[in-house]
Chains A and B, each alone.
Chain A
Amino acid sequence: MIALLMRDLRLATRAGGGFGLGLAFFLIVCTLVPFGVGPEGGTLARIAPGILWVGALLACLLSLDRIFALDWEDGSLDLLATAPLPLEGAVLVKAAAHWITTGLPLVLAAPVFGVLLHLPAAAQPWLLVSLGVGTPALSMLGAFGAAITVGLRRGGLLMSLLVLPLYVPTLIFGAEAVRRGAAGADGATPLVFLSGITLAVLATMPFAAAAALRVNLR
């Protein structure tokens, strides 16, 4: 499993791996929103929690099809499926690699983007923690969507349609925690729900994703 994780990380960081694209996309979203809604700090501060979460979600979505599509094309997925490593484990590892290359940089960079959008300082820790807790669920659900659509022509668009509704609960609780933080309230309740969703997703989705992969490999 470690070998697979290291390989995926190495592939992502080598030339053409697309590492950092998600972060650049996040930056662009956070730059475009003020152009759209106007530069008043008050307005921006009010919508910042939502924009930051939606931006993170879209940035995450952007790189999902890479999770399995490349391995599918070059035949690695066939070989992984016959390897001693259970396919469920491979799915979990690949989702983890996706999170480390996409989710984690977003979490770490989010406070900077928060400043760009006038997010109140009180909300910054909530943003950091809620993204940190929520983005693994985004990667894992995305791996499920990628597993379902691997090998389909124009799978990317379909995958967005399948995955985005699954992101709704995560988005609601994640953005709510930040919004409560921004209002000076305690965001712990939504955060607990968010952690619950993430843990449940991490526990169950590898099985669903592996089942979908097995169907697609037939």
Chain B
Amino acid sequence: MSIWEYANPVKFMRTSSAILPWVAAGAALCLGAGLVWGFLTPQDYKQGSTVKIMFLHVPAAMMAINIWVMMLAASLIWLIRRHHVSALAAKAAAPVGAVMTVIALLTGAIWGQPMWGTWWEWDPRLTAFLILFLFYLGYIALWSAVDNPDSAADLTGVLCLVGSVFAVLSRYAVNFWNQGLHQGASLSVKAGERVDPTYKYPLYLCMLGFFLLFVTLLLIRTRTEIRRRRTAALLAREVRG
């Protein structure tokens, strides 16, 4: 029993339909509980109630990056082992990642307005997210532009590899270009003092919720892609036969 068995679309469809309700329920539960808990947290002495947007902003930003990393891994699996489900999963993840990036940017603007007095600042992290968004757009556009699905998977895979390198490069290049306003990392192992435990636990819950939400959407979208390919294949057979 190897993990590669899930590269078989039939097997993937069967397994994903079995776990999908559980993941979806988990996402709803975690997000619901986390957001309500987050909303009930006391106000920050400096930031007031605006701090509560953190429970959307931080998980969305985290997922925006992690989804790209997931796409990179899926693209590598496709390029190396030629598993079609992997390529389709990367395709399915991209719009979710793009939306996460938009959520992070929008909530950031809403949070930034009262805090920094501006909706938008060419701060390195904001800029890096904007660039990441452009990479998502290019990736999605390339998928929709290429007719042959295997060629599209190959080309987007190569683009994802190159794009990853340049996304990281841009991240550090903009650092060089403009020192920012952003606070340091919201959560990290050694910097426990950055975020108070009052906020930390609901934040963890929200992150888990966002992650499960992503898995839910990913499974649904991948299943859709598989069905779409199946429809195309059946149509083609009809035309030929």
Chain A interface residues toward B at CB < 8 A: 144, 148-149, 152-155, 158, 161-162, 164-166, 168-169, 172-173, 176, 190, 193, 197, 205, 208, 211-212, 215-216, 218
Nearest-neighbor residue (CB-CB) of A211 within chain B? B158
Interface string of B125-159 (1 = CB under 8 A from A): 00000010011011001100110100100110011
Contacts of B170 in A (CB 8 A): 165, 168-169, 172
* Contact flag A215-B166 (CB < 8 Å), given A162-B159, A165-B138, A208-B158: no
A162-B142, A168-B174, A169-B173 given. 18 additional CB < 8 A pairs?
Answer: A148-B155, A154-B145, A155-B145, A161-B134, A161-B137, A161-B138, A162-B138, A162-B141, A166-B166, A169-B169, A169-B170, A172-B176, A193-B176, A208-B162, A211-B154, A215-B155, A218-B148, A218-B151
Within the complex, what minimum Cβ distance (angstroms) separates B148 from chain A? Answer: 8
Closest to A216 in B: B151
Known contacts: A158-B142, A161-B137, A162-B142. The answer to whether A168 contacts B155 by CB under 8 A is no
Closest beta carbon of chain B to A68's beta carbon, Å: 13
Query: Separation in Å of the A65 CB from the closest CB of chain B?
Result: 14
The majority secondary structure among interface residues of chain B is helix
Q: Decide if the interface of chain A is mainly helix, strand, loop or mixed.
A: helix
- Residues of B near any A CB (own CB < 8 A): 131, 134-135, 137-138, 141-142, 145-146, 148, 151, 154-155, 158-159, 161-163, 166, 169-170, 173-174, 176-177
A-B contact count (CB 8 A): 74
Q: How far is the CA of A161 from the CA of B173 in the complex (A)?
A: 20
Contact residue among A149, A158, A205, A215 (Cβ-Cβ distance under 8 Å from B154): A215
Assembled-state Cα–Cα distance A118/B158 (Å): 42
Q: How far is it, in angstroms, between the C-alpha of A176 and the C-alpha of B163 when the chains are bound?
A: 23
- List 14 interface pairs A-B (beta carbons < 8 Å), by A numbering: A149-B145, A158-B141, A161-B138, A165-B166, A166-B162, A166-B166, A168-B131, A169-B170, A172-B173, A172-B174, A172-B176, A193-B173, A215-B151, A215-B155
Complex Cα distance, B178 from A218, in Å, reads 44
Contacts of A176 in B (CB 8 A): 176-177
